[in-house]
């Protein structure tokens, strides 16, 4: 049976997957076994049942109503506000010495009060563009209702029949044509009668442009308070800012029809007696960069919207769709995953999810979840664009939850964890590019708030690259507002991009200068404690509160584990980057010295990795943030093979924290357990992440988990959990942060057999592998960059031809696998560093750039 399943899968993947192995195959067999679709037998009742489509810039949520179709629209650059004010609270650096004195005197509350004075302004909010409303006249009851989102083609379809006529609506968002394209079709000639209207929750007006084209133009607020700030009489303000009004936007809707009639008036478009109509939606904003006023210095959004439309007018619907699918699949088809087939795949996705939540097995839903994460990333983060925010690009609220901004104490980074591993390196680019903007405002913030060099970012960033500690000049809580490690964490992504791509030009020209700037700030920010160790002060551990021995509760202290781990990571990456390029030896030396003096990781009395400077209790021991395990994931300071003592302490920490938490918290825990090589625990959390939520009138009404449209629920919707879960699945299959390509490091019993293609590893390697009973049976390593390759797995391999496999000994010459020597990792005097566990087989061989290497597992024919 197992072989039958694999045969089906291999045929399937050879058809759909363009990984190096698949490219060699010309087979064209197709199977429905892994149809990658979300589908439903009724229209969406609410936003969390609607289906997301997007091209990175334009987004739409499709509800699929029969007589009233609602398509909620977004444009990624449409935000409230304008360029960030970088010195909103002058002179606050003076508090630093007083805060530090209070901290060393153990006056934590006094320190927290003073720290609160060092706050700037809140970020701005991501705004919705508006709605497209299609009111269709049908006579009679609709039957055979069906709607789906096909993530192989990035296409959403709604179908139904009325009185013997079949109606079909298709929608996709084209990257090549920069349009939202909707086709409405009837099986009977002239059966289409509908109107099209536009509206927006922002300030707007509608205009008629011609008999078949309408325009909505409007303006975003000049100021929109975060949804949790409720003390201002006017939380949303339009255009009263003397310096800079809010951003302008334009939406054009044009109807192309084969027959029937189209007219336009103030209420929108009216279509009568048509058989097929294509609606082309073109939108643009006046956003012209993070440092330009979107009003006075803004782009001509009217012209842009017109240009996109005019350019595509000559194209047929079919040609637009072909171009769209081709463009999308260039990314999507790079990877495939098969974990088994599921009977429940024949059920509507909401029901399928409900059964899964009740404990039924559905491995195909788990692989669909990974692919959905990849779909969402391709649809919300395209090169040249703006990074995916807390909700990707999909948001209907003028004051969305947490401003739908970039929350850097976990959420924004989590969005990009799957980018490199799941073969979507280009989708990482908007995030990497925005770090440059943040470094520009962050250099001002470092100077103005701390009199420090380099650049800094705090807990919240927005399209304007706001980098100050938020809190509205002292009204925020330091436990989240005054966290200056955002920039240092962001800088990890620059290094990771290099690790996966090996792009030295990028490292030299883009990444390294930014990494260096972040490290310069940290060098300035660190001070010596009484023992001469380097510590951060003030320091918080997002967003937790400790209780001291004397029962005092506070959030501001010294050298939290997260601070020290992020700095260790940044220094280590920057040291390695300067070594790779052979430059900046003096600066490298200063980092090496500083790193050796960093306050070490500590193990607490419960055997846990300590979160705080001292072994204090937590006010909320099961807090959703697990900041102190940064070194386990996404960092590489703690690994079971090299620092087993700390790995055990990390495991204890996770046990104490428990498996609960919001959507993203569970997703992070999947990554943690995968890094601890405990596949079954990671899998348990994946199942919990995929628990149905948000269905009113059932037991699935609230809580973290997954909505019927497979969006992750914090709750409310936050896309980070989708991306963190996707990365977690990838981490269970392959890891490459600890000196080797570790194959199946955390494979759960539930995934005893499976196959993956196109997973990426550091060093530019790409992995296709099939496994059975948890052991690798077939493996192809594609070496994009060449160089030494080191494999780690728990079973033996043979290779019939090249390379000659020898079990490796000694140092690994591949710079991508460079792992700091154990003595650099001696993090506390009291902790022994046992040798790596001897439970894995290690292979070491040389590769040539562009070559694939094939292996088979023992016992395999």
List residues near ligand FUC by CB under 6 A. 390, 402, 407, 411, 480, 543, 624, 662, 664, 714, 718
Distance in Å, CB of 718 to ligand FUC, minimum: 6
Determine the Cα–Cα distance for residues 501 and 516; give it in Å rounded to an integer.
20
Distance in Å, CB of 542 to ligand FUC, minimum: 7
Q: Of 25, 38, 29, which is closest to residue 8 (Cα–Cα)?
A: 29
Calculate the alpha carbon distances from 855 to 800, 804, 858 in Å.
7, 11, 10
DSSP state of 629: G
Q: What b/e string do you get for 95-107 counting C-beta neighbours within 10 Å, with b at 16 or more?
A: bbeebbebbeeeb
Q: How many CA atoms lie within 13 A of 722 on its CB side?
A: 27
Nearer to ligand FUC by C-beta: 543 or 768? 543
Cis peptide before 61 (omega within 30 of 0): no
Token pair 């269709």 is found at 136
Question: Is residue 286 within 8 Å of 301, Cβ to Cβ?
Answer: yes
Assign 662 to helix, strand or coil. Answer: coil
Q: List, in sequence order, the alpha helices (H) in 658-746.
A: 663-675, 679-689, 720-733
Classify the phi-psi angles of 262: left when phi > 0, otherwise alpha if psi is within -120 to 50, otherwise beta.
Answer: beta
Distance in Å, CB of 543 to ligand FUC, minimum: 5
Nearer to ligand FUC by C-beta: 624 or 762? 624
Nearer to ligand FUC by C-beta: 487 or 715? 715
Calculate the alpha carbon distances from 167 to 144, 162, 401, 851 in Å.
10, 8, 36, 50
Strand partners, 160: 167
In which element (H, E) is residue 793 found?
strand 787-793
Determine the Cα–Cα distance for residues 856 and 780; give it in Å rounded to an integer.
9
Distance in Å, CB of 396 to ligand FUC, minimum: 17
Nearer to ligand FUC by C-beta: 229 or 752? 229
Distance in Å, CB of 663 to ligand FUC, minimum: 8
Distance in Å, CB of 440 to ligand FUC, minimum: 24
Nearer to ligand FUC by C-beta: 372 or 480? 480
Distance in Å, CB of 633 to ligand FUC, minimum: 17
Determine the Cα–Cα distance for residues 185 and 321; give it in Å rounded to an integer.
15
Distance in Å, CB of 664 to ligand FUC, minimum: 6
Nearer to ligand FUC by C-beta: 669 or 714? 714
Strand partners, 277: 184, 257
Nearer to ligand FUC by C-beta: 662 or 736? 662
Which residue's beta carbon is nearest to the bound ligand FUC? 402
Distance in Å, CB of 389 to ligand FUC, minimum: 10
Distance in Å, CB of 403 to ligand FUC, minimum: 9
Q: Can you spell out the DSSP letters for 125-180?
A: -B---EEEEEEE--SS-EEEEEEEEETTTTEEEEEEEETTEEEEEEEEEETTTTEE
Percent composition of the chain: helix, strand, coil (DSSP 3-state, to 5): 35, 25, 45
Nearer to ligand FUC by C-beta: 402 or 771? 402
Q: How many CA atoms lie within 13 A of 227 on its CB side?
A: 12
Nearer to ligand FUC by C-beta: 470 or 733? 470
Two tokens, residue 98: 């007083």
Determine the Cα–Cα distance for residues 625 and 308; give it in Å rounded to an integer.
43
Nearer to ligand FUC by C-beta: 664 or 816? 664
Nearer to ligand FUC by C-beta: 172 or 416? 416
Nearer to ligand FUC by C-beta: 249 or 480? 480
Determine the Cα–Cα distance for residues 793 and 835; give it in Å rounded to an integer.
17
Nearer to ligand FUC by C-beta: 624 or 636? 624
Token pair 């591949």 is found at 814
Distance in Å, CB of 191 to ligand FUC, minimum: 47
Determine the Cα–Cα distance for residues 830 and 603; give it in Å rounded to an integer.
9
Distance in Å, CB of 844 to ligand FUC, minimum: 42
Distance in Å, CB of 120 to ligand FUC, minimum: 17
């Amino acid at each position: 049976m197992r072989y039958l399943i694999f045969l089906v899968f291999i045929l399937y993947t050879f058809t759909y997957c363009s990984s190096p192995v698949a490219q060699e195959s010309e087979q064209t067999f197709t199977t429905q076994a892994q149809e990658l679709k979300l589908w439903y037998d009724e229209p969406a009742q609410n936003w969390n049942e609607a289906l997301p489509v997007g091209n990175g810039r334009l987004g739409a949520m499709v509800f699929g109503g029969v007589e009233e179709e609602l398509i909620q629209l977004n444009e990624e650059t449409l935000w409230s506000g304008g360029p960030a004010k970088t010195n909103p609270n002058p002179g606050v650096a003076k508090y630093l010495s007083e805060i530090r004195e209070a901290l060393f005197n153990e006056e934590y509350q006094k320190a927290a009060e003073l720290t609160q004075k060092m706050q700037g302004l809140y970020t701005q909010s991501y705004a919705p563009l508006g709605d497209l409303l299609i009111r269709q006249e049908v006579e009679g009851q609709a039957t055979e209702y069906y709607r789906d989102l096909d993530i192989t083609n990035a296409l959403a379809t709604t179908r139904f029949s009325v009185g013997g006529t079949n109606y079909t609506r298709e929608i996709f968002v084209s990257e090549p044509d920069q349009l939202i394209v909707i086709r409405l079709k009837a099986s009977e000639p002239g059966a289409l009668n509908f109107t099209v209207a536009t509206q927006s929750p922002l300030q707007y007006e509608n205009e008629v442009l011609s008999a078949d084209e309408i325009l909505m133009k409007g303006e975003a607020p000049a100021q929109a308070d975060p949804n949790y700030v409720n003390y201002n009489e006017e939380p949303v303000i339009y255009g009263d800012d003397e310096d800079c009004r809010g951003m302008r936007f334009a939406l054009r809707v044009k109807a192309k029809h084969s027959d029937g009639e189209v007219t336009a008036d103030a209420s929108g478009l009216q279509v009568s007696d048509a058989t097929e109509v294509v609606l082309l939606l073109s939108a643009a904003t006046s956003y012209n960069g993070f440092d330009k006023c979107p009003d006075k210095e803004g782009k001509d959004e009217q012209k842009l919207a017109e240009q996109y439309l005019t350019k595509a007018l000559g194209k047929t619907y079919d040609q637009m769709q072909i171009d769209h699918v081709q463009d999308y699949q260039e990314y999507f088809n790079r990877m495939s995953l098969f974990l088994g087939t599921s009977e429940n795949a024949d059920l509507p996705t909401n029901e399928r999810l409900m059964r899964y939540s009740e404990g039924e097995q559905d491995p195909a839903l788990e692989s669909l979840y990974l692919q959905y994460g990849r779909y969402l990333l391709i649809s919300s983060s395209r090169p040249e664009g703006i990074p995916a925010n807390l909700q990707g690009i999909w948001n209907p609220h003028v004051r969305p939850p947490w401003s739908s901004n970039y929350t850097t104490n976990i959420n924004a980074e989590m969005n990009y964890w799957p980018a490199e591993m799941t073969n979507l390196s280009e989708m990482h680019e908007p995030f990497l590019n925005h770090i440059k903007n943040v470094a520009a405002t962050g250099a001002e913030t470092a100077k103005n708030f701390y009199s420090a060099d380099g650049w800094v970012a705090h807990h919240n960033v927005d399209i304007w690259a706001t980098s100050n500690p938020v809190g509205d000049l002292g009204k925020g809580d330091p436990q989240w507002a005054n966290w200056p490690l955002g920039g240092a964490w962001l800088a990890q992504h620059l290094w990771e991009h290099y690790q996966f791509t090996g792009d030295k030009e990028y490292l030299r020209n883009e990444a390294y200068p930014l990494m260096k700037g972040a490290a310069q700030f940290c060098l300035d920010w660190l001070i010596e404690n009484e023992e001469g160790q380097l510590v951060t002060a003030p320091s918080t551990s997002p967003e937790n509160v400790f209780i001291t021995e004397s029962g005092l509760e506070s959030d501001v202290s010294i050298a939290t584990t997260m601070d020290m781990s992020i700095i260790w990571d940044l220094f280590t990456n920057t040291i390695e980057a300067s070594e790779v390029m052979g430059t900046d030896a003096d600066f490298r030396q200063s980092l090496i010295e500083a790193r050796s003096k960093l306050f070490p990781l500590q193990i607490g009395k419960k055997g846990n990795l300590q979160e705080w400077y001292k072994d204090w209790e937590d006010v909320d021991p099961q807090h959703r943030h697990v900041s102190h395990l940064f070194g386990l994931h996404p960092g590489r300071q703690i690994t079971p093979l090299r620092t087993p003592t700390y790995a055990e302490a990390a495991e204890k920490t996770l046990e104490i924290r428990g498996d609960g938490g919001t959507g993203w918290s569970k997703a992070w825990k999947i990554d943690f357990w995968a890094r601890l090589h405990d596949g079954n625990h990671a899998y348990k959390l994946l199942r919990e992440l995929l628990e149905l939520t948000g269905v009113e009138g059932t037991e699935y009404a609230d809580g973290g988990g997954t909505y019927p449209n497979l969006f992750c629920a914090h709750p409310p919707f936050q896309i980070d959990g989708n991306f963190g879960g996707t990365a977690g699945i990838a981490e269970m299959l392959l890891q490459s942060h600890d000196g080797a390509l570790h194959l199946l490091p955390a494979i759960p019993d539930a995934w005893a057999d499976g196959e993956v293609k196109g997973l990426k590893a550091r060093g530019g390697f790409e992995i296709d592998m099939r496994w059975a009973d948890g052991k690798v049976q077939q493996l192809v390593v594609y070496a994009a960059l060449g160089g030494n390759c080191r494999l780690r797995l728990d079973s033996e391999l043979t290779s019939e031809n090249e390379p000659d496999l020898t079990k490796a000994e000694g140092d690994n010459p591949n710079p991508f696998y460079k792992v700091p020597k154990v003595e650099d990792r001696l993090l506390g005097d009291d902790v022994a560093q046992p040798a790596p566990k001897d439970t894995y087989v290690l292979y070491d061989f040389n590769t040539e750039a562009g070559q694939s290497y094939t292996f088979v597992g023992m016992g395999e024919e």
